[in-house]
Every structure is written in structure tokens, then in C-alpha cells.
Amino acid sequence: MAEKRFKVTLVKSPIGCKQAHRATVRAMGLRRISQTVELPDTPQARGMALSVAYLVRCED
């Protein structure tokens, strides 16, 4: 059975944000605005997306 995944898209620049939030965006694999990555649907990945929710858009 395939592992559940969700898409995360960077919609706002992390420039001027807290350094920890910039690091979270980079750790998710996002480098530029409008870039989309698929992450495994785990509590850790969901928490990362939630902590920078004002910078990203999530889709199931």
C-alpha cells in the first residue's frame, strides 16, 4: 500500500522571518516561491507545515 502524502507549496518569501522558520522551509525542500514538494503525511511533516502556515499552502 502506498504511503499517504500531501503537497506543500511556498507562497510567500521567508525573507524577514525568524531564522528557525527559514530553516523549516528549507528542511521541507522548498527553495523558491511557487515550488511544490510532496511530503509524507506524518505528524512531524504536518507540524513543520503548521509552524510556517503563513508561508505555505497545503493540499491533501
Joined grid coordinates for residue 44:
512531524
* Residue pLDDT, tens place only, 1-53: 678 999 999 999 999 999 999 999 999 999 999 999 999 999 999 999 999 99
* Domain coordinates in residue numbering, the chain: 5-59
pTM of the complete model: 0.92
**Which CATH number does the domain 5-59 belong to among 3.40.50.720, 3.30.1390.20, 3.40.50.300, 3.30.70.141?**
3.30.1390.20
- C-alpha 37/C-alpha 19 separation (Å) is 21
For helices 43-51 and 19-27, give the axis angle rounded to 10 degrees. Answer: 140
Question: How confident is the model at residue 7, as a pLDDT?
Answer: 98
Look at residues 44, 5, 37 and name the one whose alpha carbon lies nearest to residue 56: 37
* Region at 48 (left for phi over 0; alpha for psi -120 to 50; beta for the rest): alpha
Could you give the count of Cα atoms lying within 13 Å of 6 in the half-sphere of its Cβ?
17
